[in-house]
Amino acid sequence: MGKIIELKKVNKWFDKFQVLKDIDLEVASQEKIVICGPSGSGKSTLIRCINRLEEHQKGNIIVDGTELAENTKNIEKIRAEVGMVFQQFNLFPHLSILDNCTLAPIWVKKLPKKEAEEVAMKNLTRVQIDDQANKFPGQLSGGQQQRAAIARALCMEPKIMLFDEPTSALDPEMIKEVLDVMVDLAKGGMTMIVVTHEMGFAKEVADYMIFMDEGKIVERAKTKEFFENPKSDRTKLFLSQIL
């Protein structure tokens, strides 16, 4: 399996504060990676750099063969291949769920409306909210909104999916319905990078675990090894606190 994402010595600063320090990371196609770490460790920033919602200042980020840099043309094309799910869902409140899902395929991928609606309904069925298609986001529960957001990203048929703490803004009883959808997605062979504190989910689907602290990757290990035999003391401390 070829590398689909490659990060080489990536550094990023917010003004003077360094959020990412010499990040090296390779993700192969169809791999699932879970990133964890204390808040402020730079894990969200890291995945936001992968679709260039944040710009890095030093190092190289190569996504599907294209390097992301200041002068990268067609950044939209890369973003269209990288789906993203946000902590706050970020559905478009002025559009129905169906329109949320068809808007980008119609306007970015130039899909005919009918075809886009078929794709949307297929994905909404996959996340089990096809019966809510004509409602507006404000009428849905948090869990339903997040599943709609996943469906919206899937409608672009991305090669990679990024999840930025997808369950952190949800009521506890809604977390499972979202995680179930993500597990299903992982089993379907999607390349996924997930920032989350849901360790049960990580154990179930992740190929690799990454632990970040203070802008650095402290530990990168196979999931089993990561949980059973973490090498760094910082990881041990973190795991002991959240497990």
Partner 1 sequence: MILNNLKPTKDKINTFLPLGSIFVIFAFLDVLTNTFLNYNITGFLPQTLNYFFPLLLGYIGLYLIRIEFSGNRFLDKLNKNINSSNFNAFLTLLILFIIIKAISPLMNWLILEANFVGSSKDDCTGNGACWVFIKVWFNRLMYGLYPDVEQWRVNSAFLLLFALVGIAFFVPQKIKKYFIIFLLFVYPFIGIKLLSGGSFGLVYVETAAWGGLSLTFIISAFAILFCFPIGVFLALGRRSSLPAIRYISIGFIELWRGVPLITVLFMAAVMFPMFLPDGTFIDKLIRVLIAITLFEAAYMAEVVRGGLQALPKGQYEAAKSLGMGYWRMNVLIILPQALKLVIPGIANTLLALVKDTPLIFVVGLMELAGMIGLAKTNPKWLGMAMEGYVFAGLVFWIICYAMSRYSQNLEKKLSTER
> Would you tell me which residues interact with partner 1 (CB under 8 A)?
51, 53, 76-77, 79-84, 86, 88, 90-94, 103-104, 107-109, 136, 138-139, 149, 152-153, 156
86 vs 211 by CB, closer to partner 1? 86
Nearer to partner 1, 136 or 227 (CB): 136
Q: Is 22 exposed, middle or buried (0-12, 13-18, 19+ CB in 10 A)?
A: middle
To partner 1, the closest distance from the beta carbon of 148 in angstroms equals 12
Q: Token pair 């997930």 is at which residue? A: 194
| Nearer to partner 1 among residue 13 and residue 136 (C-beta) | 136
Task: Evaluate whether 66 touches 228 at the Cβ level (below 8 Å).
Answer: no
Q: Taking the complex as a whole, how short is the minimal distance between the CB of residue 158 and partner 1, in angstroms?
A: 9
Contact between 33 and 217 under an 8 Å Cβ cutoff? The reply is no
Q: How far is the CB of 219 from partner 1 (least distance, A)?
A: 28
State in angstroms the smallest separation of the CB of 189 from partner 1: 21
Task: Supply the minimum distance, in Å, between the C-beta of residue 159 and partner 1.
Answer: 12
Query: Toward partner 1, which CB reaches closer, 107 or 188?
Result: 107
Q: Which residue, 10 or 155, has its beta carbon nearer to partner 1?
A: 155
In sequence order, what DSSP letters do the residues of 94-119 get, joined into one string?
TS-HHHHHHHHHHHTS---HHHHHHH
* Helices of type H across the chain: 43-50, 75-81, 97-107, 113-126, 142-154, 172-187, 199-205, 223-228, 233-242
Q: How far apart, in Å, are the Cα atoms of 238 and each of 16, 48, 195, 219?
A: 27, 23, 15, 12
The enclosing H or E element of 17 equals: strand 17-28
Q: Which is nearer to partner 1, 165 or 219 (CB)?
A: 165
Least distance to partner 1 from the beta carbon of 90, Å? Answer: 4
